[in-house]
């Protein structure tokens, strides 16, 4: 036997070079074989595979990472070689008792598993020396000495040896007292062979090690996903921090631009400058508040996902297979959402409107100052330039009727002592005479204002001074006076929240207007109706008011027209004249309307007409905002398309008003339904 041991030693010692890893030049530790046939320590090989997969010995390149499998035969030979080497160095032949063990062997560094230190597991036979292996068949752990029967005796060749395990009772089935060598995938639990044949018969099963590998792969994927999401959130937070800096710079730039525009008229427009600056500050504060709120939310998401990642990493460090398989980790809800960086700028309609207003007003003043002193008053008398409404503009700077810009020769209502002279000049214009140079200049400035506000919703290019440079206007139907905030279609449901129920007032109806359908339909008749006399009744124009008026709040109603000809829809004060030609809505300062006359659609107020694009609507919606002094008309179809807005600081209660001219024509007040 001694001769055989010596022969085995010499045989193994001759294989020292073959049992040495070519990377670390040490005996193999957990040897693995790659497709080209060479063997390496698993950790050594993985440390060389960073970017590409190449054999360190023969330089064979693999397109994908090969699957690594432990070489159990080579591992057994290496263990035997290590044991023989230790015996040779100590001079021990293995024939003595436990007391004869060398001190070096007793104090030898124990074999370590992946997570549990072997030093905590002692040999179940001697209870003194650390265990070298655990036999899953005997359900016991052995040191190197007491493990020899399993290595040398053929009787134990079928026993399954593994790294030292601590609590073996967890691997025993509590019902059948057998090793739980299987994992039921259907029920997510470890089972023994008896469980597999009885309760779990027909279930899908695998080995615990296979299931552990799958779960580790899944958790690594989740950890990678969390890392990716965390990085995206951090990137978005960084972008929003940069955006806050840019917003501050943009706000400073726009303040400087506004300061430059208002510098030449600071004495006259000090209060307006303050309002414009406050608008920018308000937009900046709103933008930064929104970004800070979103930054806080994304930071919370990062914290939640970081905690989940730490929980996964902790679970991946779990050594006990059963405890590992029974644990679960739920990902936070933030993982299902991609972070986004909001598009927030300071180019709101309020800011750009304030800036454009300052630029246009300065141009107008410069044009006035270039004229001789005696001509300036003449330019303002025929038609003083109204200031178009801008969101957030003070009421005292709004024009009496800014629903449409002034046309050539149009003037505000003149003082009483100049009334005759103004009427004479209007008659002269109607007879076809050419307008004066002053009137042409006023019309030119009106076109400038109109062009500026048409282009406010377009992309504005900034000159080196920061002033907006508008695009060249295209040939379009006139949309004068429509604030940019209502130039896009609105959802009808948003308007219906202000819906109100209206009926026609029979005390105001002209005698040729017949009211029917519970005073919700007005029709022009050839025969006069027998209405009693009333001071509120229209006597010249075939018109009627609603029975309800409004002095505050927002109100919306819809009107259905029988045709798009000789019909007017608008609003009026109850104090408007009921007799004479000036009693027609839109022809006096107490009423406003849009009117279809033949193929032309016009907006009227105080006798001034503005021609609009005629889309021939069948149903018209009207939104009255008493607080802001605005009345918007919509073409109601699949959505509500605004086509004109009057802006005026209403001083009295306003009533919906209607003009119908053709015999048989009718208008109806619609029942509002979503």
308 and 366 assigned to the same domain: no
Gap between the Cα atoms of 254 and 234, Å rounded: 30
DSSP letters, 376-389, are HHHHHTT-PPPPPP
CB 617 within 8 A of CB 604: no
Cβ(608)–Cβ(401) under 8 Å?
yes
Helix axes 349-370, 373-380, angle to 10 degrees: 130
- Report the alpha-carbon distance of residue 359 to residue 134 in Å, rounded: 89
| Per-residue pLDDT at 179 | 77
Q: Is residue 363 part of a domain?
A: yes
Phi, psi (deg, nearest 5) at residue 642:
-70, 140
Cα distance between residue 55 and residue 36, in whole Å: 8
Task: Confirm if 241 and 292 have CB atoms less than 8 A apart.
Answer: no
| Same domain (yes/no): 371, 265 | no
271, 394: one domain: no
Contact 478, 450 (CB under 8 A): yes
How many domains, the chain?
4
The 3-state DSSP composition of the chain as helix, strand, coil percent (nearest 5) reads 40, 20, 45
Within the chain, which residues score under 70 in pLDDT? 1-17, 86-119, 381-488, 674
Check residue 402 and give its pLDDT. Answer: 39
Verify that 524 and 650 share a domain, yes or no: yes
| Domain containing residue 263 | 209-336
Judge if pTM exceeds 0.85. no
Q: Which of 467, 484, 57 is nearest to 260 (CA)?
A: 467
Are both 274 and 332 inside the same structural domain? yes
Residues 502, 543 within the same domain: yes
Own/partner pairs for 363-369, CB < 8 Å, 24+ apart? 363/445, 363/448, 364/445, 364/448, 365/264, 365/265, 367/441, 367/445
- Decide if 76 contacts 151 (C-beta within 8 A): no
Q: DSSP letter string over 580-618?
A: SGGGSTTSSTTEEEEEEETTEEEEEETTEEEEE-----S
63 vs 65: CA distance, rounded Å: 7
Instruction: Say yes or no: 510 and 632 in one domain.
Output: yes
Which pLDDT score, from 0 to 100, does residue 165 have?
Answer: 80
Measured between alpha carbons, how far is 241 from 221 in angstroms, rounded to an integer? Answer: 30
> What sign for the dihedral angle of Cα 591, 592, 594, 597?
positive
Residue 148 included in any domain? no
pLDDT at 583: 92
Residues ≥6 apart with Cβ < 8 Å to 225: 331, 335
Q: Is residue 284 part of a domain?
A: yes
525 & 550 share domain: yes
Instruction: Please state, in angstroms and as integers, the Cα–Cα distance from residue 112 to each residue in 190, 283, 486, 660, following that order.
Output: 25, 64, 75, 99
141: Cβ contacts below 8 Å, ≥ 6 apart: 121, 122, 123, 124, 131, 133, 134, 135, 164, 165
pLDDT digits (tens, 9 = 90+) for 78-120: 887 777 776 655 543 333 334 444 444 344 444 333 443 434 7
């Amino acid at each position: 036997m001694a001769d055989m041991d010596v022969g085995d030693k010499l045989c193994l010692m001759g294989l020292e070079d073959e049992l040495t890893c070519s990377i670390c030049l040490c005996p193999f530790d957990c040897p693995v074989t790659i497709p080209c046939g060479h063997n390496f320590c698993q950790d050594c090989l993985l440390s060389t595979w960073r970017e590409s997969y190449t054999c360190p010995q023969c330089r064979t390149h693999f397109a994908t990472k090969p699957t690594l499998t432990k070489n159990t035969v080579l591992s057994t030979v290496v263990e035997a070689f290590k044991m023989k080497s230790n015996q040779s160095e100590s001079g021990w032949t293995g024939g003595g008792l436990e007391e004869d063990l060398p001190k070096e062997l007793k104090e030898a560094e124990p074999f370590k598993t992946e997570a549990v230190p072997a030093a905590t597991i002692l040999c179940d036979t001697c209870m003194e020396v650390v265990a070298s292996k655990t036999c899953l068949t005997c359900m016991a752990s052995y040191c190197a000495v007491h493990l020899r029967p399993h290595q040398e005796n053929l009787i134990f060749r079928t026993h399954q040896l593994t790294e030292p395990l601590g609590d073996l009772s967890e691997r025993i089935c509590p019902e059948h007292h057998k090793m739980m060598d299987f994992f039921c995938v259907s029920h997510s639990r470890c089972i023994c062979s008896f469980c597999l044949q009885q309760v779990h018969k027909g279930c899908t099963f695998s080995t615990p090690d296979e299931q552990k590998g799958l779960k580790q792969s899944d958790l690594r994927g989740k950890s990678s996903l969390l890392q990716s999401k965390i990085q995206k959130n951090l990137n978005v937070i960084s972008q929003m921090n940069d955006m806050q800096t840019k917003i501050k710079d943009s706000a400073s730039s726009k303040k400087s631009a506004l300061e430059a525009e208002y510098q030449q008229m600071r004495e006259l427009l000090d209060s307006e400058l303050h309002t414009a600056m406050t608008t920018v500050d308000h937009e900046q504060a709103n933008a930064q508040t929104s970004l800070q709120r979103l930054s806080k939310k994304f930071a919370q998401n990062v914290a939640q996902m970081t905690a989940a990642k730490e929980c996964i990493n902790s679970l991946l460090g779990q050594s006990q297979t059963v405890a590992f398989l029974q644990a679960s980790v739920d990902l936070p809800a933030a993982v299902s959402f991609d972070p986004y960086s909001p598009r927030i700028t300071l180019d709101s309609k309020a800011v750009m409107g304030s800036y454009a207003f300052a630029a246009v007003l300065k141009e107008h003043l410069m044009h006035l100052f270039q004229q001789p002193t005696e001509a300036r008053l003449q330019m303002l008398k025929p038609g003083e330039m109204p200031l178009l409404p801008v969101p957030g503009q003070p009421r005292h700077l709004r024009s009496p009727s800014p629903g449409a810009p002034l046309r050539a020769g149009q003037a505000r209502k003149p003082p009483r002592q100049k009334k005759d002279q103004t009427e004479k000049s209007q008659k002269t214009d109607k007879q076809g005479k050419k307008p004066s140079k002053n009137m042409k200049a006023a019309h030119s400035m009106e076109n400038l204002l109109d062009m500026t506000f048409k282009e406010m919703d377009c992309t504005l290019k900034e000159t080196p001074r920061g002033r907006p440079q508008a695009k060249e206007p295209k040939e379009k139907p006139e949309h004068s006076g429509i604030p940019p905030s209502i130039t896009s279609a609105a959802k009808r449901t948003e308007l219906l929240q202000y819906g109100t129920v209206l009926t026609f007032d029979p005390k105001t109806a002209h005698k040729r207007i017949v009211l029917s359908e519970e005073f919700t339909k007005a029709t022009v008749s050839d025969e006069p109706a027998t209405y009693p006399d009333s001071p509120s009744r229209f006597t010249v124009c075939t018109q009627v008011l609603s029975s309800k008026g409004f002095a505050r709040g927002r109100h919306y109603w819809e009107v259905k027209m029988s045709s798009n000809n000789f019909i007017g829809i608008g609003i009026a004060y109850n104090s408007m004249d009921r007799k004479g030609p000036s009693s027609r809505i839109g022809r006096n300062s107490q009423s406003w309307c849009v009117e279809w006359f033949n193929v032309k659609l016009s907006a009227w107020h105080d006798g001034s007409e503005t021609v609009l694009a005629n889309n021939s609507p069948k149903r018209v919606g009207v939104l009255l905002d008493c607080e802001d002094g605005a009345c918007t008309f919509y073409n109601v179809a699949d959505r509500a398309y605004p086509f004109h807005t009057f802006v005026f600081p209403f001083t009295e209660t306003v009533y919906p008003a209607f003009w119908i001219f053709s015999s048989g024509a009718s208008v109806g007040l619609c029942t509002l339904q979503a």
